[in-house]
Each structure stands twice: as C-alpha cells, then as structure tokens.
Homo-oligomer: A and B are copies of this chain.
Amino acid sequence: MPGAPQPPSERRWVARVRALAEPRARRAERACFVEGIRAVLAAEEAGLPVEAVLLCPESLRSEAAWDAVARLERHGVPRVDLPARRFAQLSDMDNPVGLAAVVGWAPAALDALDPPPGALVVIAEDVGDAGNLGTLLRTADGAGAAAVVVAGSGADPSHRRCLRASLGTAFRLPVALAGEGPRAVSWARARGMAVVATSAHAERAHWGVDYRPPLALVVGSEERGLRPETAAACDLAVRIPMWGTASSLNVAVATGVLLYEVRRAWGGG
C-alpha cells in the first residue's frame, strides 16, 4: 500500500532525522532528534533552537503538546505532519505519542562548564546504555546537581533514548563530555572539589562520610565499575552496601542513592 506521495518537506526532515542517528552527525551539526512530549516541551522551555517539530496529528492527544506546537509555529518553526505509519517508522516508542523535534543541542565541552561555588557534580564514566544515562541525568537534575560530566566510551548524551529518558532535563542541566575519566577528575580537582569514587570493593560505606562541598561523585560502568586509573585519581572511594544477590545497583539508581545521601548530609531541602 504505497499511499499518497511523500511531500518534499516531509522527505527532507525524515532524512535529517535518519542522519542524526549517527553520533558524528549530531556532533558536527550540534543537533539532535528528540521524541516525546516532555522532552520536546523541555527543549522549548530551555529556549533551544527547534529546527522542526514533527507530529502525527491523529496520535497527539495532549493539549499542552498542541499548545507548544502552536507556539513553535508562531515562532516560525517548520511543522511537519506525518501519517501514523510514517511517524511510527521514526519512533522507537511502543505506543508513539506523536510528537518529536529536531533540536539544536549538543553536550558542552568540559572547559565550558563553570559550576557555581559549593556545587555538587556527577562524573559518569563508561555508562553504556543510553536509557540509563538519561535516567542518570534526570536523577542528577532532580537532586540539584550543578552538572554531569560524561567520561569514557559510554553512551552519547545526545542519543535519542538518553534525551527521552532524561525527560528533557538534559536540555537544562549542564552536560559536558570529558574524554577520559582522569581528565574529568582533574577538572573537578582544579575547581576545588573533593572527588568521591563509587566502587563495589571500597571498604567504606557511603553513609557517614564527611561530604564537604564542592563535591564530585564519580560513578562507573554498569558492568565493570570505574576504570582503575579513574578510581586511583579520586580522593576517596565508597560503596553502597548490598544485601541481595546482584553485585550492584543500576547506575542511575546508585547515583540517586549517593546524591540524596549527600543532600541529606548537607542539610536536606
């Protein structure tokens, strides 16, 4: 069933979305593709340049989403309507909500990050799963971290699954790429931060540690933990006590447990 011929603007944006599946293209053009109502709204709220909004009118139910589409159109953002079948081809949701966008966003360079005095920062090394990285960003944002530094060879923060899992907090929270883990640790040190590593093998539990601000928490890969050279560069290592059979928590869960323990130690909110 070939259906109606595809209009040229539709063809152009679908091609652009496909091109942005490549990390290299996202980096070179400082642009990304994001799907989901909250993530698109977050891009708009963050004042990011929206190149185009892609929607499936027959699927999109949220009134807030339709209002956002109208605002974007008023600001001259191209609107590309797709039939459900074509939208589903672009979507990676089980039940596509019918809203997506091409957004001018990319993670910052490490040197461009300038956390305020007394900041709490997360350094995430080798987090391989883009969804986990996005949930980690959402968690860091929720716990009031000033920035997340992404190190090592893990998932790309501009991956669509990361952006969606972050609920768009990636667009607000400063997120930077550090290259190798020790470089991120040096960066934090140079800004006066104490740098605390997490390790399943640390002697010290994460409770009752004197977490003085400013502070950087370093979390590692879901599979292998921190690289030895990164762990060695830190001031202190802590472990989250484990009672069960699995040897570790999911990395975003571990980050949440640590961040909220620091927040509690700092006097709560």
Which residues on A are within 8 Å of B, measured CB to CB?
Answer: 38, 42, 45, 131, 135, 138-144, 165, 167-169, 172-173, 205, 207-208, 240-246, 248-250, 252-257, 260-261, 263-264, 268-269
Contact = CB atoms under 8 A, between A and B. Distances in A.
A160 B242 CA distance: 24
Most buried by B among A45, A256, A269: A256
B143 A268 contact: no
30 contacts: A38-B246, A131-B131, A138-B244, A139-B249, A139-B250, A139-B253, A140-B244, A142-B240, A142-B243, A142-B248, A142-B249, A143-B243, A165-B250, A168-B246, A169-B244, A169-B246, A172-B244, A173-B244, A205-B268, A205-B269, A207-B264, A241-B263, A241-B268, A243-B269, A250-B252, A253-B255, A253-B256, A256-B257, A260-B261, A261-B261
Contact of A245 (B45, B207, B263, B268): B45
Contacts of A168: 245-246
A244 B141 contact: yes
A56 to B, nearest CB: 20
Given A173-B244, A261-B264, A269-B241, A249 B138 contact: yes
Q: How many copies does the complex hold?
A: 2
Contacts of A141: 243-246
Contact of A42 (B245, B253, B260, B269): B245
A3 to B, nearest CB: 28
A48 to B, nearest CB: 13
A41 to B, nearest CB: 10
Contacts of A135: 250, 253
Nearest to A260: B257
Nearest to A243: B144
A256 B250 CA distance: 10
Nearest to A248: B142
Contacts of A254: 256
